[in-house]
Amino acid sequence: MTNNNNNVPNNYVVMKIRGKPVQCLVDIGSVSTVISCTFAKKLGLDIKPWANSNSLFSANGAPLTVVGVADVTFYLKGLRIPHTLRVVEGLAPHLVLGIDFMKANQVSVNYIDGTFRFYDDLIVIPLQGYDSRDNCAFVSQLLFVFLSMLKQ
């Protein structure tokens, strides 16, 4: 479900890592897929040293401190998607999907119909707005409210 309010940008997708739904910012301007160090530790990811000397920079040109890499498997509608994330200090939002992820998984982003498409439309998921409530998706929150109303 996408948010039809044009004032709220729908630029997140929800996938699972280690069974937990995670909101991922879709960033077609980011060359690398990155995760915050704090969030990587919260998920219990194994952070390995990063041996690459290439620097990463934020959109405003500030250098990012890469502390390592973490191999993860995203789960989405039965599809397992392995990817190596760069682990960054002080990153907000928690996880940013970059061009490396999109190229590796043949992703196309359609902002007109609000969708994120894998492998020639094999899997199509909606772009969503950000929900700050512990990285829960809007769909999950709406379902919970609906089920609560049914019990009354």
CATH class of the domain at 12-151? mainly beta
Indicate the pairing of strand 56-57 with strand 12-17.
Answer: unpaired
Token pair of 18, please?
Answer: 């280690």
Instruction: Give the residue among 90, 99, 79 at the shortest CA–CA distance from 32.
Output: 99
Amino acid identity at 10 = N
pTM: 0.79
pLDDT tens, residue by residue, 76-118? 988 999 999 999 999 888 999 999 999 999 999 999 999 999 9
What is the rounded CA–CA span in Å between residue 38 and residue 89? Answer: 8
Whether pLDDT at 31 is above 50: yes
The pLDDT of residue 53 is above 90: no
